[in-house]
Amino acid sequence: MSETTPAAETRRRRPQSLIAAGNILRFLAKTPTSAFGLLVLAVLILTALFAPLIATHDPYLQDLTNTLAPPDSAHLFGTDELGRDIFSRLVHGSRITLTIIFLVTIVVGPLGLLVGTVAGYFGGKTDVALMRVTDIFLSFPSLILSLAFVAALGPSLNNAIIAISLTAWPPIARLARAETMTFRSADYIAAARLQGASPARIIWKSIVPMCLPSVLIRLTLNMATVILTAAGLGFLGLGAQPPMPEWGAMIATGRRYMIDSWWLVTFPGLAILSVSLAFNLLGDGLRDALDPKQMMKR
């Protein structure tokens, strides 16, 4: 009996969260706009996974005899100033975009959760100190703050990701704090405290799981901004460096030839637009599916 209990418990708990996730997915799939968002993201992930299979050419292979060729059957989206196939570069660029999304998420989520839950749980001076720091970060537009960080760290894709993460955590921290404040005085937290659980344990075991769903939604909502900021940094030459096929950087180099060769900037731009639109549509749907009031807050 005692051996079966934990297993039974996890079995009981798993399906519940799965059912919730299923319900949300079903709701999203029913709304045409968010279904479109889901579709685009699925395409993005598949493209990134199977990039070498989908790409028709080597994204780095130069062909100086065939530069700035307009779109045709051999080169779906044309070639760039060094004769590289733009379609293949876009396909491989999806990996960079996914990397950015993934890394920013795993940095921002835990950081925001940590600051927010600690501030919310302890309250008092800890709260004031942490929230002041958060406010300072929040009072700058994120791109300008990222610019300052990249300037200090030096331009590269990794530094761009770090800079974006440093500017993206405050809203998450705010949210986690607000959530924590509502749970802090709940009876089950008091019970855990009376049993002698340390604050770290209470935060990790009891508070973080409660904050997680709303934090994940908030992260989805912010992802569009993250993608645009990353592309903007790439465009300014402060993100991914050539010859990497990062979409923003592709637009930056294509800019010189844009009057005669429109395809150099048009296709990477459409790629950025569709991914950030997908996240926005998805976030919009999630906002409708779940608590609308809370998500509006910055």
Partner 1 sequence: MPTDPVRAIVGEDATREVYETVYRQLGLDRPMWEQFFVYLRDVASFDFGTSIRTGQPVLQDIVHVLPATIELATFAILFGAGVGIPLGVLAAVKKDRWQDQLIRIFSLMGHSMPIFWTGMIGLLIFYAALGWVGGSGRMSQFYIGLVPERTNFLLIDSALAGEWEVFRSALNHIVLPASLLGYSSSAYITRMTRSFMLDQLGQEYVTTARVKGLSRRQTVWRHAFGNIRVQLVTIVALAYGALLEGAVLIETVFAWPGFGQYLTSNLLIGDMNAVMTCVLIVGVIFIALNILSDLLYRIFDPRTR
Residue 231 found at the interface with partner 1 (CB under 8 A):
yes
Question: Which ranges in the chain belong to alpha helices (H)?
Answer: 4-30, 32-49, 51-54, 86-122, 124-138, 142-153, 157-184, 187-194, 199-202, 208-235, 247-254, 263-289, 292-296
Q: DSSP for 20-81, please give it.
A: HHHHHHHHHHHSHHHHHHHHHHHHHHHHHHTHHHH-SS-TT---TTSTTPPS-SSSTT-B-T
In the complex with partner 1, the residue whose CB is nearer, 127 or 288, is 288
CA angle 189, 190, 191 (to 5 degrees): 90
State the Cα–Cα distance between residues 84 and 63, nearest whole angstrom.
6
Interface with partner 1, residue 99, by CB under 8 A: no
CB of 63 to partner 1, least distance (A): 25
CA distance 63 to 216: 44
Locate 167 and state its tokens: 């500017």
Sole binder of partner 1 in the list 76, 133, 148, 216 (CB under 8 A): 148
When binding is defined by CB under 8 A, the residue of 143, 197, 212, 290 that contacts partner 1 is: 143
26 vs 255, beta carbon nearer partner 1:
255
Q: Is 245 in the site for partner 1 (CB under 8 A)?
A: no
Does 258 bind partner 1 (CB under 8 A)? Our answer is yes
Residues 168, 100 contacting (CB under 8 angstroms): no
Write out the binding residues for partner 1, residues 54-93 only, by CB under 8 A.
none
Output the smallest distance, CB 136 to partner 1, in A: 8
End-to-end CA distance of the chain: 49
Least separation in angstroms between residue 121's CB and partner 1 is 28
Q: Which of 224, 226, 244, 286 binds partner 1 (CB under 8 A)?
A: 224
The reply on whether position 280 binds partner 1 by CB under 8 A is: yes
Residue 38 as a binder of partner 1 (CB under 8 A): the answer is no
| Contacting residues toward partner 1, per CB under 8 A | 33, 139-145, 147-148, 150-151, 154-155, 224, 228, 231-232, 235-238, 248, 251, 255, 258-259, 262, 265-266, 268-269, 272-273, 276-277, 279-281, 284, 292, 296
